[in-house]
Amino acid sequence: MQTTTERDWGLVLGGIALAIAGLVLMFWPGLTMVTLATVAGIMFIAAGVVDAINMFRFRHVKGISAWAVINALCNFILGVLFLIHPITGAVVLAWFVGAFVIAYGVFAITAAIGLRKSGVSWGWMLCNGIVSVICGAGFFFLPEMIVYFVAFFLIMRGVTMAVYGATAPQALSGGLFGMRP
């Protein structure tokens, strides 16, 4: 088998781009959250328009029109509010994520308690659930922390991708792990 020393430049460049995006998030968290809130506002408006169009398309389906109108209006109004008040929208986004993380934590705690009776190792899942609830609550009290979490993740993922892209050919040919085909 022929060994190769080529690099996967797509992974390297993609990793560098992710790391740079993470650094931007870390150094300009307020601007980043306002940008995310603006994008969310545009997406909510687009969803409202699509919902309104679908309401007209499926107006003959029994019971769908009233709920489609309400859904379209809610999406549209929420989108406009995010665009008018992007800073408040940024906080609301962190609250949404916090609520989902808390819900995940509650489900993990519940599952861990259920696993306790089965004899399966359940302590790690319980710890995960408790930490998730605490982190989710943190998003309510410190909504700007969501940016730092995402920034850290992007930097770590970007570095991992770049390193993998630079070393994957050697790893596949046995050079990185010392294994030869």
> How far out from the chain centre does Cα 39 lie?
14
Q: What is the pLDDT of residue 176?
A: 38
Burial class of residue 56 in the structure, from the number of CB atoms within 10 Å of its CB (0-12 exposed, 13-18 middle, 19+ buried): exposed
Nearest CA among 70, 92, 72 for reference residue 81: 92
Q: What is the pLDDT of residues 59-82, one digit of tens each?
A: 776 666 667 788 889 889 989 998
Q: What is the pLDDT of residues 110-145, one digit of tens each?
A: 988 887 877 666 787 788 888 888 888 887 888 777
Q: How far apart are CA 97 and CA 95, in angstroms?
A: 5
Q: What is the pLDDT of residue 106?
A: 92
pTM reported for the whole predicted model:
0.53
> How far out from the chain centre does Cα 7 lie?
29
pLDDT > 70: percent of the chain:
83
Q: What is the pLDDT of residues 76-103, one digit of tens each?
A: 998 999 899 888 888 788 888 788 888 9
First to last CA, the chain: 7
